[in-house]
Amino acid sequence: MSFKQELRRYKRVFVVCDRNVEGFAGQLAGGETPMFAITADETHKSMDTVLDICRWLLEQGADRDALLLAVGGGVTTDLAGFAACIYKRGIRYANIPTTLLSQVDAGIGGKTGANLDGYKNILGVIRQPEFTAIFPEVLQTLPEKEFRSGLAEMLKTFIISNLSHAYERTVKLVSSAGWPEVAKDANLQELSELVQLAAGIKQGIVEKDEFEKGPRRKLNLGHTWAHAIEWWQSVQKKPCSAPFSHGEAVAIGIVQAAKLSESLGIAEKGLADRLKSDIEACGLPTDLPCPVKDLLPAIQKDKKAEGGLVRFVLPVKVGRVVVRPIGPQLLLQP
């Protein structure tokens, strides 16, 4: 079924879009469709914006049979999804993700949410969208830093799946084409196939484990370090001039996970060096910005911690990971 046919299944459609992709959203939904544009950044990822969306829906007379279509990156799909979950006790929603990160990750899986008092994603609900439609050409306007952020999540998805060939294709495509050529017409078909594969892997994992009790935990590869790096950046007295984005921090975290895995005899030998070299060839960072001991407070508070042990996702090889509870002090050993 084409996207237009899919939309015709709903009596009334309302669009919440990221201001930076308003033109694309308008073309997609058609001129008559009511649209509400938001500023998509972490400061605006708040309950205030969720309530603004709900108020707008009410003004527009949106009923329980409405579909809320979110067009934007993860900030937009998280916020609009959350608004849809609470407006009139829940209306249906669907996602058109416009960043690489949201096409392979945030736009899939039903996690919605908003930040509270500076803490990320404290509020939220898990409820699945009606559908997620991916238009790879929208990536052509994405800023490079945003592209690389999504790329780290895409590489992660292939490392945890059994599609090692997709990991190799991604490294080859990005390291040879570079940005922005990788999203230009000559490479768009290949990029699009890889995005669809990654999105399909995430969808498959979510279908097996919607509430993160088992296989969905694998998606956290690299994230224990990433959250610790993001926390460390936020508490620096002199803020870093160009702080790592979430995806860049994930790229560093993947390599740290591989190093830990090798030191525990879980990963095949040479895995950390291989991942480091591939990830750097894709233009992503791999070195920690500070000593491990400075990250420990955040690692110990990791939401995946249990009984003093932290649940680390450890790669065995490209295409296989295991989840192991580990005492964070082990990270300090040379």
Ligand X SMILES: NC(=O)c1ccc[n+]([C@@H]2O[C@H](COP(=O)([O-])OP(=O)(O)OC[C@H]3O[C@@H](n4cnc5c(N)ncnc54)[C@H](O)[C@@H]3O)[C@@H](O)[C@H]2O)c1
- Cα dist from 69 to 6, 13, 36, whole Å: 12, 7, 10
- Tell me if 132 contacts ligand X by CB under 6 A: no
Query: Which residues neighbour 168 within 8 Å (Cβ) at sequence distance 6 or greater?
Result: 318
- Tell me if 254 contacts ligand X by CB under 6 A: no
- Tell me if 46 contacts ligand X by CB under 6 A: no
Complex with ligand X: residue 21 or 266, whichever CB lies closer: 21
Q: Determine whether 212 is an active site residue.
A: yes
Q: Determine whether 246 is an active site residue.
A: yes
- Tell me if 45 contacts ligand X by CB under 6 A: yes
Exactly one of 6, 22, 130, 212 is catalytic; which is it? 212
Contact residue for ligand X among 121, 164, 175, 187 (CB under 6 A): 121
- Tell me if 149 contacts ligand X by CB under 6 A: yes
Complex with ligand X: residue 102 or 261, whichever CB lies closer: 102
Taking the complex as a whole, the smallest distance from the CB of residue 333 to ligand X amounts, in Å, to 31
Interface stretch with ligand X, choices 17-25, 170-178, 193-201, 209-217 (CB under 6 A): 17-25
Q: Determine whether 216 is an active site residue.
A: yes
- Tell me if 253 contacts ligand X by CB under 6 A: no
Interface stretch with ligand X, choices 93-101, 158-166, 272-280, 308-316 (CB under 6 A): 93-101
Closest CA to 283 of 145, 117, 186: 145
Q: Which residue is at the shortest CB distance from ligand X?
A: 74
The torsion angle over the Cα atoms of residues 312, 317, 321 and 323, rounded to 10 degrees, is: -40
- Tell me if 111 contacts ligand X by CB under 6 A: yes
Complex with ligand X: residue 20 or 286, whichever CB lies closer: 20
Taking the complex as a whole, the smallest distance from the CB of residue 226 to ligand X amounts, in Å, to 11
Cα 148–chain centre separation? 12
Closest CA to 72 of 94, 49, 43, 52: 94
- Tell me if 314 contacts ligand X by CB under 6 A: no
- Tell me if 262 contacts ligand X by CB under 6 A: no
CA distance 80 to 98: 14
Q: Determine whether 169 is an active site residue.
A: no
Could you tell me the two tokens for 193? 């196939």
Q: Are residues 280 and 174 in contact, defined by beta-carbon separation less than 8 angstroms?
A: no
| Cα 180-182-186 angle, rounded to 5 deg | 115
- Tell me if 248 contacts ligand X by CB under 6 A: no
- Tell me if 220 contacts ligand X by CB under 6 A: no
CA distance 149 to 100: 8
Q: Are residues 184 and 140 in contact, defined by beta-carbon separation less than 8 angstroms?
A: yes
| Beta-strand relationship, 305-306 and 309-317 | antiparallel
CA distance 43 to 239: 17
Q: Which residues bind ligand X (CB under 6 A)?
A: 18, 20-21, 40, 42, 45, 72-76, 78, 98-99, 101-102, 105-106, 109, 111, 120-121, 138, 141-142, 146, 149
Active-site residues, by number, are 89, 111, 153, 202, 212, 216, 220, 223, 227, 246
